[in-house]
C-alpha cells in the first residue's frame, strides 16, 4: 500500500495540525509542497481540491481536506496514540477546544495578518481581532491554571490546534508576558517532539511573515 500524501505548506498554521498528528502517530507519508503563488502548483492543487485551501491528505484514493478532519481520519485509520478519546463526553470536550483554538485564536490572528496585505487598511477590523484574542487569552488563562493540557484526557486534538494558533498569535498580540499560565502551557507544547519538528521545518519560511518576526521569537 502506498503512503498517504500530504499537500501542504510548512509555514501555514492549519497545515501544522496535520503535520503534528502525523508525527504523533509516526505515520510515514509523502509530501507535496503547494505554492499558491505558482500557477502550475496552484492549478494542480485546485484540481485536487477546488476550494484551494490546504492541507489536503490523499490516502488510498480518498481525498481528505480540512485540518481537523484529517486528524479525525488519522484517528480512525491509525488509532494509536488516540488524539480524540473514545468516550463521547470526553471527545466532545476535545472537539470543542479544537474549535475554540481555530475560531477564537487562529482566525483572529489571521485577520490581523490579512489586513497587512490589504489596502486600504481597516483599523476596526484589526482592533476587533485583537479584542477577540485578548478575550481568548483570558479564558485560556483561567482554564490552564490547573491543568497540563487543554483537556483532562491528556495531549489531544485540542492541543494540536493550540500549537500553531498560539505560535502565530503570540507574534501579533503577545501573551507571554501577560498570561503566565497560558505561556507555561505554550512552552509545554513547544517542548513536544512533534511540535519541535514542525516548528523547525517552518523556520526557512519565516521571512514570508508579513508583519515581521519579533526579535524575541525562538
Of 51, 52, 50, 56, whose CA–CA distance to 7 is shortest?
A: 56
Using CA atoms, how far apart are residues 144 and 99, in angstroms rounded to an integer?
17
- Where does 88-192 sit in CATH, by number? 1.20.1050.10
Neighbour-count burial for 182-195, b at 16+ CB within 10 Å, e otherwise:
bbebbeebeebebb
DSSP 3-state of 141: helix
Using CA atoms, how far apart are residues 34 and 55, in angstroms rounded to an integer?
9
pLDDT confidence bin for 189, thresholds 50/70/90: very high
Q: Cβ contacts of residue 171 below 8 Å, gap of 6+?
A: 209, 211, 213, 214, 217
What the block records as the C-alpha cell of 53 is: 485551501
What does the angle CA 52 – CA 22 – CA 105 come to, to the nearest 5 degrees?
60
Q: Cβ contacts of residue 53 below 8 Å, gap of 6+?
A: 14, 65
Residue in the block written with cell 488510498: 60
pTM for the model stands at 0.96
Q: Per-domain residue ranges for the chain?
A: 88-192
pLDDT surpasses 70 at 1: no
Using CA atoms, how far apart are residues 54 and 31, in angstroms rounded to an integer?
12
Average pLDDT over residues 163-190: 98
Residue-wise pLDDT for 23-60, tens only, equals 999 999 999 999 999 999 999 999 999 999 999 999 99
Contact 14, 67 (CB under 8 A): yes
Using CA atoms, how far apart are residues 175 and 178, in angstroms rounded to an integer?
5
Residue-wise pLDDT for 96-130, tens only, equals 999 999 999 999 999 999 999 888 888 999 999 99
What the block records as the C-alpha cell of 184 is: 507555561
Q: Pairing mode, if any, of strands 5-8 and 62-65? A: unpaired
pLDDT of residue 119: 87
Of 160, 3, 163, whose CA–CA distance to 78 is shortest?
A: 3
pLDDT of residue 51: 97
Residue in the block written with cell 500524501: 5
pLDDT confidence bin for 94, thresholds 50/70/90: very high
Q: Phi, psi (5° rounding) for residue 88?
A: -60, -40
Contact 163, 205 (CB under 8 A): no
pLDDT confidence bin for 182, thresholds 50/70/90: very high
Contact 34, 58 (CB under 8 A): no
Amino acid at each position: 500500500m502506498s503512503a498517504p500524501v500530504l499537500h501542504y505548506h510548512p509555514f501555514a498554521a492549519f497545515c501544522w495540525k496535520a503535520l503534528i498528528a502525523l508525527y504523533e502517530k509516526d505515520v510515514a507519508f509523502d509530501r507535496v509542497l503547494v505554492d499558491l503563488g505558482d500557477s502550475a502548483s496552484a492549478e494542480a492543487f485546485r484540481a485536487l481540491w477546488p476550494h484551494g485551501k490546504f492541507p489536503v491528505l490523499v490516502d488510498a484514493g480518498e481525498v481528505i481536506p480540512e485540518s481537523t478532519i484529517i486528524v479525525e481520519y488519522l484517528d480512525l485509520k491509525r488509532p494509536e496514540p488516540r488524539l480524540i478519546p473514545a468516550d463521547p463526553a470526553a471527545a466532545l470536550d476535545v472537539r470543542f477546544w479544537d474549535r475554540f483554538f481555530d475560531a477564537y485564536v487562529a482566525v483572529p490572528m489571521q485577520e490581523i495578518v490579512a489586513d497587512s496585505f490589504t489596502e486600504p487598511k481597516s483599523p476596526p477590523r484589526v482592533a476587533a481581532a485583537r479584542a477577540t484574542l485578548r478575550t481568548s487569552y483570558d479564558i485560556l488563562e483561567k482554564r490552564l491554571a490547573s491543568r497540563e493540557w487543554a483537556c483532562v484526557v491528556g495531549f489531544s486534538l485540542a492541543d494540536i490546534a493550540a500549537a500553531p494558533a498560539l505560535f502565530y498569535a503570540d507574534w501579533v498580540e503577545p501573551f507571554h508576558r501577560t498570561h503566565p499560565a497560558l505561556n507555561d502551557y505554550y512552552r509545554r507544547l513547544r517542548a513536544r517532539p512533534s511540535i519541535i519538528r514542525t516548528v523547525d521545518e517552518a523556520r526557512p519560511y519565516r521571512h514570508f511573515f508579513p508583519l515581521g518576526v519579533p526579535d524575541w521569537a525562538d
